[in-house]
């Protein structure tokens, strides 16, 4: 699972005559690109990148979007309802990447709604997925469509023509991936920090995801709520200096040489992974995609699991609050 992370990759000046049917070619060293890009920077480079729109309604007719963006709703990248964080079969991911006309060298910008901090998990999870599959030049539009609109940048309702499918072949980077068996092995090793990205109530076993069989967390895990990276209500990450100050509050695990980020289904955990790995260059950061839903389905050992009576009382409280 160990690896050394890089801050980002460069982006070249491509021929503006390129159409959507041909993927933008590989970058050279002339201009910085990714892993986080502002609305203004994307507007300046729009013709030189492949924009992927992850919004739920991205494929609906007449939905306003950034010109040239291709719809690929977040659900296309997720697992089944009973285990949403589970990785799709590799042939399905390969077919999706090919349909979008992407190659390993295509510069890709991922766009979500940007409505709130939780929404950032969508592009972060897809970014991680594409990097795991072997794509080399990736960026997230910071603040998503909310930031694009706030900047007064143009939108269109004309659908983007489908690109020519690529012949993409995955080159998996399994250093980014923590499997359930690897996490189980890490429970007995002092060299791994298991970092829970969920709100405190989940970590303490007071709440659980609907698809999880039991509340609780991984044994020995420490918590760092992914919301802490954001200003309240904002879906946009702050500048690097602010992120560094926030990161100073990360829990410390004596002797830890690597970090495994997890949550309920690998959504919030992807934000922690993205900030630590891609923005702050922390080495050896991996993501456990299935996270606690996957773990609880395996009846694996857990910490902070309330008793049956406590769980029943929590269910009654949640039912009462929902009335």
Secondary structure letter of residue 47 according to DSSP: G
Which string of DSSP letters, residue by residue, matches 19-46? -TTSPPPPP-SSEEE-SEE-HHHHHHHG
Same domain, 104 and 218: no
- The verdict on residue 38 lying in a domain is yes
Final residue before a domain boundary, out of 172, 206, 234: 172
Supply the pLDDT for residue 33: 79
Residues 72 and 116 in one domain: yes
* The pLDDT value given to residue 15: 29
The residue from 157, 172, 187 where one domain ends is 172
CATH assignment of the domain containing 230: 3.40.250.10
Domain containing 79: what range? Answer: 9-172
pLDDT for 134: 98
Nearest to 181 by CA among 260, 245, 69: 260
Q: What single DSSP character describes residue 172?
A: -
237 domain residue, yes or no: yes
* Same domain assignment for residues 239 and 294: yes
pLDDT at 23: 58
Q: Which of 138, 172, 206 is the last residue of a domain?
A: 172
The DSSP secondary-structure symbol of 119 reads G
1 within a domain of the structure (yes/no): no
In a domain, 3, yes or no: no
- CB atoms closer than 10 angstroms to residue 234: 17
What pLDDT does residue 25 have? 55
Contact between 266 and 293 under an 8 Å Cβ cutoff? The reply is no
Is residue 24 domain-shared with residue 161, that is, in the same domain?
yes
Let me know if residue 4 belongs to a domain: no
This prediction has a pTM of 0.88
Considering the domain architecture, whether residues 125 and 145 belong to the same structural domain is answered as: yes
Closest residue by Cα to residue 256 from 212, 299, 197, 192: 192
Whether 202 and 282 map to the same domain: the answer is yes
Whether 246 and 220 share a structural domain: yes
Same domain membership, residue 21 and residue 162: yes
User: Is residue 144 included in any domain, yes or no?
Assistant: yes
222 by DSSP, 3-state: which? Answer: strand
The answer to whether residue 2 is domain-embedded is: no
Q: 274 and 165, same structural domain?
A: no
Give phi and psi for 169, each to the nearest 5: -125, 120
Q: What is the pLDDT along the chain (323 residues), one digit of tens a residue?
A: 443 333 333 333 332 223 344 556 554 433 457 899 999 999 999 999 999 999 999 999 999 999 999 999 999 999 999 999 999 999 999 999 999 999 999 999 999 999 999 999 999 999 999 999 999 999 999 999 999 999 999 999 999 999 999 999 999 999 999 999 999 998 877 899 999 999 999 999 999 999 999 999 999 999 999 999 999 989 999 999 999 999 999 999 888 999 999 999 999 999 999 999 999 999 999 999 999 999 999 989 999 999 766 666 666 666 666 66
Counting the structural domains of the chain, the total is 2
* 235 and 116 in a common domain: no
Residues 186 and 118 in one domain: no
DSSP E strand stretches across 187-257: 192-196, 222-223
Q: What is the pLDDT of residue 190?
A: 82
- Give the total residue count for the chain: 323
In a domain? residue 118: yes
DSSP 170: -
CA distance 196 to 268: 9
- Do 158 and 208 lie in one domain? The reply is no
**CB within 8 A of 110, min separation 6: which ones?**
52, 54, 123, 126, 127, 138, 139, 140, 141
């Amino acid at each position: 699972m160990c690896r050394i992370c890089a801050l980002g990759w460069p982006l070249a000046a491509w021929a503006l005559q390129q159409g959507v049917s041909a993927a933008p070619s590989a970058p050279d060293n002339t201009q910085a690109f990714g892993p986080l890009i502002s609305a203004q920077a994307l507007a300046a480079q729009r013709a030189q990148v492949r924009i992927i729109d992850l919004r739920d309604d991205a494929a609906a007719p007449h939905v306003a979007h950034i010109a040239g963006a291709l719809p690929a709703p977040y659900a296309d990248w997720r697992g089944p309802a009973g285990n949403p964080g589970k990785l799709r079969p590799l042939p399905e991911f390969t077919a999706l990447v090919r349909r979008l006309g992407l190659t390993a060298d295509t510069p890709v910008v991922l766009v979500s709604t940007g409505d709130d901090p939780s929404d950032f998990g969508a592009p972060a999870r897809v970014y991680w997925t594409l990097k795991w599959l072997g794509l080399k030049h990736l960026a997230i539009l910071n603040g998503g469509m909310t930031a694009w609109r706030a900047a007064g940048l143009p939108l269109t309702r004309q659908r983007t023509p489908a690109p020519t499918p690529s012949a993409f072949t995955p080159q998996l980077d399994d250093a980014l991936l923590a499997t359930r068996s690897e996490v189980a092995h890490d429970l007995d090793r002092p060299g791994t920090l298991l970092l829970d990205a969920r709100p405190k109530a989940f970590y303490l076993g007071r709440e659980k995801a609907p698809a999880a069989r039991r509340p609780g967390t991984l044994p020995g895990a420490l918590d760092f709520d992914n919301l802490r990276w954001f200003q309240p209500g904002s879906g946009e990450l702050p500048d690097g200096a602010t992120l560094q100050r926030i990161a100073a509050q990360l829990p410390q695990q004596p002797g830890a040489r690597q970090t495994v980020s997890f949550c309920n289904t690998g959504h919030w955990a992807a934000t922690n992974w993205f900030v630590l790995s891609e923005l702050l260059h922390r080495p050896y950061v991996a993501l456990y995609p299935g996270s606690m839903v996957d773990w609880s389905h395996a009846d694996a050992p857990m910490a902070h699991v309330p008793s049956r009576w406590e769980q029943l009382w929590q269910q009654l409280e949640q039912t009462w609050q929902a009335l």
